[in-house]
Amino acid sequence: MSGFVSTRGQVGFNDLKIPGAWSRKIGKDLYEVFIGPQHPGSGHMRIIIRIDGDVIVEADPDMGYVHRTMEKLGEGREWIKGIPLYERMAIHDACNVTLPYVRAVEQLLGIEAPLRAKYLRVLLCEINRIAAYLYGFGIFGVFVGHSTMYMWPFGDREVWIELADWLTGARLTHSYPVFGGVRRDVPADFTNQLRKAIRYMRKRLEEYRKIYVDNPVIRARLEDVGVIPKNLAIELGITGPNLRASGVLYDVRYNDPYEVYDELDFEIPVFQEGDALARVWQRVEEIKQSLRILEQVADWLDKHPREPILHDRFWKTAPPLHKKIFETEGRAKLVPLYALLKVPKGKAYARAETARGEITYYVESDGGQKPYRVRIVSASARNAIVFKYILPGHRVMDLPTIYGSIDYFPPEADR
Amino acid sequence: MDVIDVIVKIITWPPLWQLVVLGLVAPLGVVVGILWFERKTAARVQRRFGPLHVSPRIGGAIQLIADLMRYAFQEIIIPKTVDKGVFLIAPLTALVLSIVPVVAVPFTSVSHYWPIPMEYSVLISLALSTISAIFIVLAGWASNNKFSIIGGMREAYMITAYELMIILAILSVSAMTTSYNFVDVVLAQTGGKWFIILNPLAFLAAFISVLMATSGFPFEIPESENEVVAGPFTEYSGLLYGVNMGAAYIKRFVYSIFITLAFLGGWLPYGPGDGFISGYLIPSLVIIVKATILMAVFSFLRAVYGRYRLDQALDFAWKLLFPLALMGFGLGLLEAYIGLIG
């Protein structure tokens, strides 16, 4: 309930001028329901809805339940420790989420990763993107009550997580890109297994279409539900697949290519409808494009011989034993220099396209061993506002549909 | 007459036999099997193992018994805010009322083994089957929880969607046989003339509306987890929650028996003879097996469909299912008129 208004002269919540404790008057016949944050249909977030009969008239997304003061924590740690910290925003999308941080610091250091490291970063970024989309599909599937679509993507996601595990040594929080390069080179048979996974995924996407996207019940639930018109999408500043499903061609990989995306051949799918079904199709098509990118990366990795995957500035300080391990096993251990790294004074800004949209890092250094300020604007934080504008007018049962189709991820938004 | 004879007499006394053995024990056994089947097939489709850890050698078949034990020994928490009396009575009454219709249907053609006279059994059993839903609405209301109330209201909406359709669809067999007697209905199907073949429209209408009535996919709306947690049963815990779930499955079992009698030939092709075993036990077993197969079909849909929205389900019921049921009724009348049904 929204607090109480005193009728007998005692001090009510309204008289106490505590922010957040003011009660709101709601309409006469409205029923206020708090969905979340401990609710199977909301994730770690609260959506306060007011319903008239079965129709939502007002929706109020209430973020911040899993806020972890990530930006402040970052100010107290050495530069390199920022990477494992920030990837906790979206652990299944770890490479995409931390890449702009790494690139911003590289700008401050004035270095650039070797070409092979850039390809490896793109490799993991796309693996992460596919895994994150599949995760979103699974959650969406269970939200509309489709238990098979819950299990299938989660099972197929395992393929990509295993690949990432093989490549980086960790299933989720990879901490793969480091300043000036990446942590490891690909294992010997990796590209062949990758191609196998790509073939498998293409086959599975077709099966998803049959049982889920073209399922009459699911189509009835998704079509014309949660429509974000193009102008509203631009006005609210939402990003990522949700923006592209509303007909706006905007993808950081395309508009502001980073790493080696400008050398790769891929398309940015755009859908015009802007409804929940279009957002599902958008992700399906983007997985196909990611598979295309991965194929090209695999070809490139096959054709080019191994070379150092760290910038010379770091690599030359590596002890001989590390170099020997790298030559024999392809693993590069973190060189001791990272622990005491001092980043020159300055400000840098970098962005990347994560699975949920554009993520922006603003990094400021005062020349010390720790960042002066790291400001993060994550994609989910920008997408959260959309609930306020598109939920009203829909039925209560549309709430999970819309929530799932936006692929909102509270830990990423709350930081 | 020794003690065992007396006990056997009491157990096989038709009202008791049908209420307790066919109404309570048989559904429990069937539900254990069906839930296992449901979870195993869904797991097969979804490329998992399904229940495995309890009794790995028989594929986790007694998983549900373990679950039931957990429910039975769990503390029943009654929140302070609920209307205590109604909160306790509603699920139990719903359970009892969902079993009661079993007494009003014949499991054999031998009149000696009917619990009640069967002249109007179609009407009586249908009428009895409609009562228990009210107590689900009541359970939601007594829980005094927003999700429960919304869930209860959804159940109330769904009643308006399915109740008339079930009655229309099953009554179309009365139109075909010009009789309200289930025994006549079953006997009219002798010789392979099952009404599922003669009147598939009414069967389809009955099938879908039973799916609606028992919250099967794609109509699992009142208990839809993602909006209303557990719907009317949100505040229930322990055995009371188990009773709620059990009532839902017994309801589905009872409706399956109706459909079996009305469309799937009841105890046919077996012809009941004299004596308890031939006249009562075997026909009941035939009906239960048919109903179980029907329930297996119901539960397989879980792996294929998502759930409809409430307004879409109502739309579906009144724009598609209602005409379908009427057409089934009309087809039944037509077939009776041209003398297709002997």
- pLDDT confidence of residue A291: 92
Residue A145: which of B42, B150, B306 has the nearest Cβ? Answer: B306
- pLDDT confidence of residue B78: 86
- pLDDT confidence of residue A4: 44
Q: What is the ipTM of this complex?
A: 0.80
User: What pairs with residue A358 in β-bridges?
Assistant: A353
Q: Is B342 domain-assigned? A: no
For A78-376, CATH gives 1.10.645.10
- pLDDT confidence of residue B185: 85
Distances (CA, A) of B234 to A41, A397, A400, B31, B214: 14, 17, 18, 22, 17
Q: Do B147 and A149 touch (CB under 8 A)?
A: no
Chain A positions touching B312 (Cβ under 8 A) are 220-221
Residues of A in CB contact (< 8 Å) with B are 31, 33, 35, 39-41, 54, 141-152, 155, 211, 215, 217-218, 220-221, 395-400
- pLDDT confidence of residue A200: 92
Substitution target in A26, A31, A144, A225 with the highest count of B β-carbons within 10 Å is: A144
Any CB–CB contact under 8 A between B305 and chain A? yes
Å from B166 to nearest chain A CA?
A: 22
Q: What is the pLDDT of residues B77-136, one digit of tens each?
A: 888 888 888 888 888 888 888 888 888 888 888 777 788 888 888 889 888 888 888 888
Average pLDDT, chain B: 84
> Can you tell me the distance from the alpha carbon of B258 to that of B122, in angstroms, rounded to the nearest whole number?
9
Chain A positions touching B45 (Cβ under 8 A) are 148
Å from A381 to nearest chain B CA?
A: 22
% chain B with pLDDT above 70: 99
Q: Do B150 and A211 touch (CB under 8 A)?
A: no
Which one is predicted more confidently, A179 or B216?
Answer: A179
Any CB–CB contact under 8 A between B45 and chain A? yes
List per-block mean pLDDT (blocks of 10 residues) for chain A, which spans 415 residues: 44 53 62 78 79 84 85 88 88 89 90 89 91 90 86 90 88 87 83 90 89 86 86 88 89 88 88 88 91 91 82 80 78 76 89 90 89 89 87 86 87 85
Chain B positions touching A141 (Cβ under 8 A) are 306
- pLDDT confidence of residue A128: 92
- Check: CB of residue B317 under 8 Å from CB of residue B166: no
Å from B45 to nearest chain A CA?
A: 7
- pLDDT confidence of residue A20: 52
Q: Do B47 and A397 touch (CB under 8 A)?
A: no
Chain B positions touching A215 (Cβ under 8 A) are 304-306
Residue A396: which of B225, B227, B308 has the nearest Cβ? Answer: B227
Any CB–CB contact under 8 A between B225 and chain A? yes
A320: preceding bond cis by omega (within 30 degrees): no
- pLDDT confidence of residue A6: 42
The pair phi, psi for residue B118, each rounded to 5°, is: -105, 15
Q: What is the pLDDT of residues B222-237, one digit of tens each?
A: 777 777 777 788 888 8
Contacts of A45 (CB under 8 A, 6+ apart): A36, A37, A61, A62, A63, A65, A384, A408, A410, A413
Q: How far is CA B171 from the centre of its chain?
A: 17
Tally of CB atoms within 10 A around A100: 27
Which one is predicted more confidently, A136 or B277?
Answer: A136
Range of weakest confidence among A371-375, B60-64, B314-318:
B60-64
Residue A151: which of B46, B220, B226 has the nearest Cβ? Answer: B46
**Domains in chain B: how many in total?**
1
Shortest CA distance from A31: residue in chain B? B146
- pLDDT confidence of residue A3: 42
> Can you tell me the distance from the alpha carbon of A330 to that of A335, in angstroms, rounded to the nearest whole number?
15
Confidence of residue B323 (pLDDT cuts 50, 70, 90): very high
Substitution target in B145, B309, B310 with the highest count of A β-carbons within 10 Å is: B309
Query: What average pLDDT does range B321-327 have in this prediction?
Result: 91
Shortest CA distance from B311: residue in chain A? A395
Any CB–CB contact under 8 A between B229 and chain A? yes
- pLDDT confidence of residue A131: 92
- pLDDT confidence of residue A42: 63
Q: Do A31 and B46 touch (CB under 8 A)?
A: no
User: What pairs with residue A24 in β-bridges?
Assistant: none
Which one is predicted more confidently, A336 or B330?
Answer: B330
Residue A33: which of B146, B226, B305 has the nearest Cβ? Answer: B146
Q: Do B306 and A144 touch (CB under 8 A)?
A: yes
Contacts of B67 (CB under 8 A, 6+ apart): none
- pLDDT confidence of residue A5: 45
Query: What average pLDDT does range B13-25 have in this prediction?
Result: 76
Q: Which of residues 121-150 of B touch A (CB under 8 A)?
A: 146-147, 150
The parent domain of residue B128 ranges over: 3-337
Contacts of A55 (CB under 8 A, 6+ apart): A393, A394, A395, A396
Residue A272 structure tokens: 């015009």
Chain B positions touching A398 (Cβ under 8 A) are 309
- Check: CB of residue A371 under 8 Å from CB of residue A82: yes
Å from B310 to nearest chain A CA?
A: 7
Residue B224: which of A145, A152, A211 has the nearest Cβ? Answer: A145
